[in-house]
Chain A
C-alpha cells in the first residue's frame, strides 16, 4: 500500500468501501465531510501485512457506532461488549472489501490481522498518518478513517517496508 498504488487510488477504494459497507451492514449513510468526530470516541485498529506494511484506524463517535451496532444486531440497546464486537466485525468486513479491491488493482494479495478496539483515540506506534478521510451522517455524528504508514527515516526511506 506504500508504493504499489497511488494515494488517490487508495483513498477512492477506502471511501467506496466504507460507504458501501456502512450502508449495507448498518443502514447508515456516511458522507465525506470536514467536521471531525467529537470527544466521546472509540477506535478500532487493524494492521495489514504480507505485501502492504500499513494499518487502518477507524475513529468514530461512540453514539454513531452504538447506533450502527443497534441497527446491525436488531437490538434496542447495546452493551459496551456489543459495541466492541460490532466495531471489530465491521472493520473486518470493511478490510475484506478493501483488500479485495487492492488485489484487483495491484495483483498483490494483502492480509490483515485481528482488529483491536480502544475507548478513546489510539495512535499506532512507529507509524505516521498518510491521510485521513472524515465522514458524518445525518445526525452530525462522525467518523475518521485514518491510513497509517511506517515512520520515514531522515533520509526519506521507509522503515520496515517488506
Chain B
C-alpha cells in the first residue's frame, strides 16, 4: 500500500518537483500545506505516514511547526527539506525529533532513502 506524504512548503516549484520525483514510487502526496500553521491544523485530519517540512516559510518556520506537531503527535515522522543546511539547523532538527534532512534541489534516490529510514 502507498505511503501517504503531507508536503509542507510554500514553494510551488518544490511541490511540483516532489510530485515528479515520487511518480512511480510507493509514496503518494496526500496533502499540501503552504505554512507551518496550516500543517499543524491539517496533521490530525490528514494523518499522513510522513511529513516533508520546508524550514524557511512565511510566518511560523518549519522547525517550530515540526516541534509543535511532534509535541501533539509524538509518533509523527517528519523529514526536513531545505536549501539552508548548516550544522546548527541539523542539530535543532535532530533535537526536536525530525527523522531526516534533505537538501534542495533533491534527487529521487536521496529522497527515497531518507523516507525509508524515517519510516523504519
Contact = CB atoms under 8 A, between A and B. Distances in A.
A74 B105 contact: no
Contacts of A95: 83
A31 B52 CA distance: 33
Q: Which of A21, A74, A93 counts the most chain B CB atoms within 10 A?
A: A93
A118 interface: no
A100 interface: yes
Contacts of B103: 96-97, 100
A18 to B, nearest CB: 12
Contact of A96 (B16, B88, B104): B104
A26 B37 CA distance: 30
A93 B104 contact: yes
Interface in A16-63: 20-21, 24-25
A131 interface: no
A140 interface: no
B85 interface: yes
B35 interface: no
A38 B93 CA distance: 44
Nearest to A24: B105
B54 to A, nearest CB: 11
Interface in B1-40: 11-14, 16-17
A111 interface: yes
A92 B83 contact: yes
Nearest to B89: A109
Interface stretch (A5-13, A82-90, A120-128, A147-155): A82-90
B86 A97 contact: no
Contacts of A89: 11-14
Contact of A73 (B12, B82, B84, B85): B12
Contacts of B104: 93, 96-97
B31 to A, nearest CB: 20
Nearest to B16: A73
Given A73-B13, A103-B86, 4 more contacts: A72-B13, A89-B11, A90-B13, A96-B85
Interface of B: 11-14, 16-17, 82-86, 88, 103-105
Interface of A: 20-21, 24-25, 72-74, 85-86, 89-90, 92-93, 95-97, 99-100, 103, 109, 111
19 contacts: A20-B105, A21-B105, A72-B16, A72-B17, A73-B12, A73-B13, A85-B13, A86-B13, A89-B11, A89-B12, A93-B104, A96-B82, A96-B83, A96-B84, A96-B85, A96-B103, A100-B84, A100-B85, A100-B103
